[in-house]
Amino acid sequence: MVLLLIPGAIGCTVSDFPDQLNGGLDTNKFTIIAIDLPGYGKSRPPERMYSVESYPNDARKAGMLMAKLGYHLYSVLGWSDGAKIALLLAIENQARVEKLVVWGVVPYCSAHDLTAVSRTRDTSIFDPKSRELYVKAYGEELFEQLWHKHVDYCVSFTGNAVAIWDIRDRMKTIKCPTLILHGDKDPLIDKEHPGTAERLIPDSRLVRFANGSHNIHQTYAKEFNKIVTDFLLE
């Protein structure tokens, strides 16, 4: 089975998925394609261009990459902002996306989401493991710059961040089996979002990590990888 892994905001392969790529997901069972989105990781320069089309553009480019590589059937794993792109891929490539796994998922931008992301301008509140991985990938100064640009985009773009993201109607059209994972102590995600995603996506199930935060794939890597592997191989 071919897997496409999509990192979160400003994230890249080395910052977001070391616990999946370094033996966490079995390469005897999976062919893994992990990407750095335009403007992040090694897909820079140029710098990230922000607009209302940012996520659709990411999804189109990811789909084009998989087609160019010759993978016409694959499953998609997406975290946080990567979950948005994964959802779009599943919507727009119904015949190609075999299964979908998302965590830190946001069906729409709520007031809670805006407040939560605004607080993260102070990156000292990041989970220590996540912050260390970002700094290792970018260096302290560039990490701060990239993250502040992302926060500004989410909070103030066109004066209405809701315009950037609301996919609730389109989520109903997803046909592939979908696994939604969620950390119940995630401070960034509106507590209504995982249940909303499960309700809207027809063939979906929700798995909760009672003590998990936003980065459950890092802090609960062994359990996370097993749950995901079992789902993909069903």
Active site residues: 80, 186, 214
The angle at the Cα of 203, spanning 201 to 204, to the nearest 5 degrees, equals 70
Distances, alpha carbon 110 to alpha carbons 13, 52, 153, 192, in Å: 28, 17, 15, 10
Q: How many other β-carbons are positioned within 10 Å of the β-carbon of residue 197?
A: 24
Residue with tokens 């950390």: 183
Residue 163 tokens, joined: 């315009």
Distances, alpha carbon 227 to alpha carbons 24, 98, 175, in Å: 12, 17, 21
Q: Which residues pair with 208 in a beta bridge?
A: 182
Q: Quick one: residue 124, left, alpha or beta (phi over 0 = left, psi -120 to 50 = alpha)?
A: alpha
Q: How far is CA 165 from the centre of its chain?
A: 14
Q: Is 96 helix (H, G, I), strand (E, B) or coil?
A: coil
Residue 195 tokens, joined: 């249940």
Residue 92 tokens, joined: 């727009």
The answer to whether the beta carbons of residues 202 and 174 sit under 8 Å apart is yes
Q: Is 34 helix (H, G, I), strand (E, B) or coil?
A: strand
